[in-house]
């Protein structure tokens, strides 16, 4: 390691300052000083393996994708040409892409209320010092440990129109049944139901953490003032949970724009294109039917801009709520 | 988390009526939690039934007589598609590999970001945290191009390295938060005794950080074990499929009514994380908590 220390010595480093060492202080002090200063390179040596990984597999692909979106690149095509905005223009006419965007938007909007409200309701109930709290939380959390494929397969079987238990019990209860996943009117709702089951535990834990941070004195004061449970929820819990609610909302929206696995397992985008999503369309454009990397990259960047918009929205909305 | 007092605990009335009300609420939630787990229970129950009992109506929730035949079939039969046994092994290799790469790179990167002063430190940190907003789907195609160029398609490193790159930034974030809380005096004492930065990092900081390293390891394991889209694209040899991909093909390989083998595969894929979850429940919850609130 070189001795080109640019880092200012920290106050706690003791008496052996580098200046003293270089002015002919005793050898022992000099040796100590050498330990105390360090090369400007040291932090970068620590960072190097991670940054290599990060630049190579995150930053570079992001930029390469932008470049590809202006080319006619295809799987297996060694040479490709710059085509300007042609891929983006084609997206304007690609009706399946429009359907995919619409479906993704619908999924996002329709799943938001249940994904915000169900874990919140559970969290508020669990936060009351109930017996078996940890057990209950674990039960709701468990589906989140499963892969999206496992979740999809389990629900595919559960929702089987002929031999699945879901329809059996509905029929027994006198509810008219149908082939939920094969009906364009209900397929997306079945996917949403599956997703809510999968992710509720994750958001539950986040809400519970948020509830822990609300000072109990507030509830005490409200109780003394005669506020009931419902009133306390609206007047204290909800406002103070606002940053957490926003976090859950935006995380969910960003994740929803990339929904893929559930759809791929449960409906493969069908019936027709009723549940086709953007990422599925991107996947098929690039890797299944057309092998058109340029066009798929253009879709990816349209998606990125949408997601980025929501991320910036998050920062705007969260600004000023630094207490969390 | 179980040890922290609930925020409403101070309100807890001392009377017997209130205690009964809480017990009743817990009972109601217990019923709901049981219902909540039924899809997973149904999956496991189905995997243990002989084929002829699987589609019987009304649904039978006790798998009796039970059989392990479906497990034998998906683990060892090569007749249909990728063997789940081999896929399980692939997933173990990829997930453990990812955990190792993530722990080493994140810990090394988080240390100077938390404990050293240098030009560019804040910029590096901001870029890393900002990258958490990059949707994975956006880099799918270029990542494929890169992996192909490296000759890494259908290899373990082709799954491990991109997987680790996704989790790296979160790992740095999580570990940096923890490293910031380690008292500076410990390091200063070691430096005066002649320890260099690497020694301080490996002998003082890392041993003190075992809980948070465990949380990160579980987080990285979970995301690698469960990832689906990237391996679906990056692997095109059946013997290299990780579990989620092999399972998704299992669905097509069997007629839709033979749910036995499919559910056996799905149950197998759930077991490792269930075990981790039972052993380290609190670590997982802690990891999620931090990822949520501070991410």
CB contact, 8 Å: B52 with chain A? no
Polymer length in residues for chain B? 295
Cα angle, residue A144 at apex, residues A140 and A150 outer, rounded to 5°: 120
Q: First vs last Cα of chain A: how many Å apart?
A: 41
Q: Which chain A positions have a beta carbon within 8 Å of B30's beta carbon?
A: 132, 136
| Residue B113: closest CA among A13, A36, A49, A43 | A43
Identify which of A278, A287, A284 has the alpha carbon closest to the alpha carbon of residue A256: A278
Residue B284 reports pLDDT greater than 80: no
Mutation site for B-interface testing, chosen from A14, A52, A72, A147 by largest number of B Cβ within 10 Å: A147
Touching check for B215 and chain A: CB below 8 Å?
A: no
Q: Is the pLDDT of residue B53 over 60?
A: yes
Looking at residue A288, its pLDDT comes to: 87
What is the pTM assigned to this prediction? Answer: 0.86
User: In whole angstroms, what is the distance from residue A223 CA to residue A310 CA?
Assistant: 38
- Out of B101, B117, B196, whose CB is closest to A35? B196
CA distances from A316 to A112, A213, A324, B19, B292 (A): 20, 22, 15, 43, 18
How high is the ipTM of this complex? 0.87
- Which residue among B22, B42, B143 places its CB closest to the CB of A129? B22
B123 and A CB contact within 8 Å: no
Grouped pLDDT means (10 residues each) for chain A, 324 residues = 38 40 49 59 94 95 93 83 91 92 93 93 88 88 93 92 89 90 92 96 90 85 82 86 84 89 90 92 90 92 89 69 44
Contact A126, B8 (CB under 8 A): no
Nearest one of B110, B167, B133 to A247, comparing CA atoms: B133
**C-beta of residue B256 within 8 angstroms of C-beta of residue B126:** no
Let me know how long chain A is. Answer: 324
- Most confidently predicted of A237-241, A292-296, B51-55, B81-85: A292-296
Cβ of A131 within 8 Å of Cβ of B22? The answer is yes
* CB proximity A130 to B under 8 Å: yes
Report the residue from A60, A150, A300 with minimal CB separation from B137.
A300
Instruction: Give yes or no for residue B81 having a pLDDT over 60.
Output: no
Chain A positions touching B111 (Cβ under 8 A) are: 46
pLDDT tens profile B115-154: 998 999 999 999 998 888 788 888 999 999 999 999 999 9
Interface with chain B: mutation pick from A153, A233, A305, highest number of B CBs within 10 Å: A153
Give the SS3 label for residue A102: helix
Q: A37: which DSSP letter?
A: S
- Name every chain B residue with its beta carbon within 8 A of the beta carbon of A58: 131, 134, 139, 165-166, 169
Q: For residue A24, what are its two tokens?
A: 């002919």
The C-alpha of A52 sits at a distance from chain B's nearest C-alpha, in angstroms, of 9
Give yes or no for B164 touching A (CB within 8 A): yes
Chain B (58-87) residues lying within 8 Å, Cβ to Cβ, of chain A: 58-59
Contact A155 B39 (CB under 8 A): yes
Inter-residue contact A285 to A295 (CB < 8 Å): yes
Q: Is A234 exposed, middle or buried (0-12, 13-18, 19+ CB in 10 A)?
A: exposed
Contact list in B for residue A57 (CB cut-off 8 A) is 139, 143, 146, 161-162, 165
Confidence (pLDDT) at B79? 58
- pLDDT for B74: 84
Residue B204 makes CB contacts below 8 A (sequence gap 6+) with B182, B186, B187, B190, B195
Q: Contact at 8 Å (CB) between A83 and A72?
A: yes
Q: Enumerate the β-bridge partners of residue A74.
A: A292
Strand partners, A292: A74
CA separation for the pair B155, B160 (Å, rounded): 9
DSSP string across B76-119 = H--SSSS-HHHHHHHHHHHHHHHHHHHHHHHHHHHHHHHH---T
A226 Rama class: left (phi>0) / alpha (psi -120 to 50) / beta? left
Helix A187-212 vs helix A95-126: crossing angle, to nearest 10: 40
Q: If pLDDT is split at 50, 70 and 90, which confidence band does B10 have? A: very low
> Residue A163's closest chain B neighbor by CA?
B55
Q: How many CB pairs under 8 A join A and B?
A: 345
- CA-to-CA separations, A275 to A91, A254, A271, A296, B163, in angstroms, rounded: 19, 18, 7, 19, 27
d(CA B85, CA B196): 46
- Residue A158 sits at φ, ψ, to 5 deg, of -60, -40
Q: Could you tell me if A19 lies within 8 Å of chain B, comparing CB atoms? A: no
Q: Cβ-count burial of B271 within 10 angstroms (0-12 exposed, 13-18 middle, 19+ buried)? A: exposed
Q: Which residues of A touch B270 (CB under 8 A)?
A: 145-146, 150
Cβ of residue B194 closer than 8 Å to a chain A Cβ: yes
Separation of first and last alpha carbons in chain B? 19
Task: Report which of B14, B9, B286, B39 is spatially closest to residue A126, judged by C-alpha positions.
Answer: B9
pLDDT value at position A26? 55
Closest CA to B295 of A202, A233, A199: A202
Tokens 């001795």 locate to A3
pLDDT, average across residues B215-234: 93
A165 shares contact with chain B (CB less than 8 Å): yes
Count how many Cα atoms sit within 13 Å of the Cα of residue B288 in the half-sphere of its side chain.
28
> What interhelical angle do B243-253 and B259-279 show, nearest 10?
160
DSSP state of A271: S
Between the alpha carbon of residue B112 and those of residues B106, B120, B232, the distances in Å are 11, 11, 36
Over the stretch B175-222, which tens digit does the pLDDT of each residue have?
Answer: 998 899 888 888 888 888 888 889 999 999 999 998 889 989 988 999
**Neighboring chain A residues of B185 at a CB cutoff of 8 Å:** 12
Of B39, B124, B145, the CB nearest to A64: B145
Contacts of A55 (CB under 8 A, 6+ apart): none
Beta bridge partners of A82: A71
**Dihedral, A123, A125, A129, A130 alpha carbons, nearest 10:** -120
Nearest to A147 among B33, B137, B269 (CB): B269
| Res. B78 pLDDT band, cuts 50 70 90 | low
Confidence of residue B291 (pLDDT cuts 50, 70, 90): low
What pLDDT score does A301 carry? 94
Give the side-chain half-sphere CA count within 13 A for A7: 22
């Amino acid at each position: 390691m070189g001795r080109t220390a640019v880092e200012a010595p920290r106050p706690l480093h003791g008496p052996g300052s580098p200046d003293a060492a270089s002015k002919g202080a005793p050898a022992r002090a000099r040796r100590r000083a050498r330990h105390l200063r360090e090369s400007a390179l040291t932090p970068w040596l620590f960072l190097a393996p991670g940054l290599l990984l990060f630049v190579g597999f995150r930053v570079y692909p992001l930029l390469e994708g932008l470049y590809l979106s202006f080319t006619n690149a295809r799987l297996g095509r060694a040479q490709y040409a710059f085509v300007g905005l042609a891929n983006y223009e084609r997206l304007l006419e690609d009706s399946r892409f429009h359907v995919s965007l619409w479906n993704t938007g619908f999924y996002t909007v329709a799943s938001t209320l249940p994904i915000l409200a169900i874990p919140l309701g559970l969290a508020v109930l669990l936060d009351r010092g109930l017996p078996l709290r940890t057990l209950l939380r674990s039960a709701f959390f468990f589906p989140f440990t499963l892969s999206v494929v496992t979740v999809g397969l389990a629900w595919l079987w559960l929702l089987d129109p002929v031999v699945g238990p879901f329809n059996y019990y509905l029929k027994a209860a006198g509810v008219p049944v149908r082939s939920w996943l094969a009906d364009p009117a209900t397929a997306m709702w079945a996917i949403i139901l599956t997703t809510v089951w999968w992710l509720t535990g994750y958001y539950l834990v986040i809400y519970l953490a948020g509830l822990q941070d609300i000072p109990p004195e507030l509830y005490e004061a409200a109780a003394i003032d005669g506020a009931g449970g419902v009133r306390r929820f609206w007047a204290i819990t909800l406002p103070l949970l606002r940053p957490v609610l926003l976090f859950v909302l935006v995380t969910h929206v960003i994740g929803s724009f990339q929904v893929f696995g559930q759809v791929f397992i449960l409906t493969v985008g069908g019936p027709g294109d009723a549940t086709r999503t953007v990422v599925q369309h991107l996947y098929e454009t690039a890797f299944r039917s057309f092998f058109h990397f340029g066009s798929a990259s253009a879709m990816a960047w349209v998606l990125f801009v949408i997601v980025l918009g929501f991320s910036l929205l998050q920062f705007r909305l969260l600004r000023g709520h630094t207490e969390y | 988390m179980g040890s922290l007092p609930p925020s409403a605990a101070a309100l807890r009335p001392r009377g017997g009526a209130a205690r009964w009300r809480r017990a009743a609420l817990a009972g109601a939630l217990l019923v709901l939690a049981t219902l909540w787990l039924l899809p997973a229970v149904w999956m496991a129950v189905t995997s243990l039934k002989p084929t002829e009992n699987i589609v019987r109506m009304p649904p039978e929730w006790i798998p009796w007589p039970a059989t392990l035949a479906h497990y034998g079939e998906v683990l060892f039969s090569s007749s249909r598609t990728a063997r789940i046994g081999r896929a399980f092994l692939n997933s173990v290799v990829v997930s453990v590999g990812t955990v190792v790469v993530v722990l080493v790179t994140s810990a090394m990167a988080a240390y100077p970001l938390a404990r050293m002063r240098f030009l560019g430190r804040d910029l590096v940190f901001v870029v890393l945290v900002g990258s958490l907003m990059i949707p994975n789907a956006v880099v799918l195609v270029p990542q494929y191009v890169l992996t192909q160029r490296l000759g890494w398609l259908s290899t373990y490193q082709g799954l491990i390295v991109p997987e680790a790159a996704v989790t790296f930034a979160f790992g740095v974030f999580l570990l940096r938060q923890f490293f910031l809380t380690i008292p500076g005096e410990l390091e200063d004492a070691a430096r005066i005794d002649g320890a260099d930065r690497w020694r301080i990092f490996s002998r003082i900081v890392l041993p003190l950080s075992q809980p948070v390293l465990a949380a990160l390891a579980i987080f990285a394991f979970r995301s690698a074990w469960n990832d689906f889209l990237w391996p679906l694209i990056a692997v095109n040899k059946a013997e290299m499929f990780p579990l989620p991909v092999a399972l998704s093909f299992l669905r097509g390989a069997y007629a839709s009514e033979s749910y036995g083998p499919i559910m056996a595969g799905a149950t197998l894929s759930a077991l490792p994380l269930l075990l981790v979850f039972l052993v380290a429940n609190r670590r997982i919850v802690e990891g999620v908590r931090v990822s949520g609130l501070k991410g």
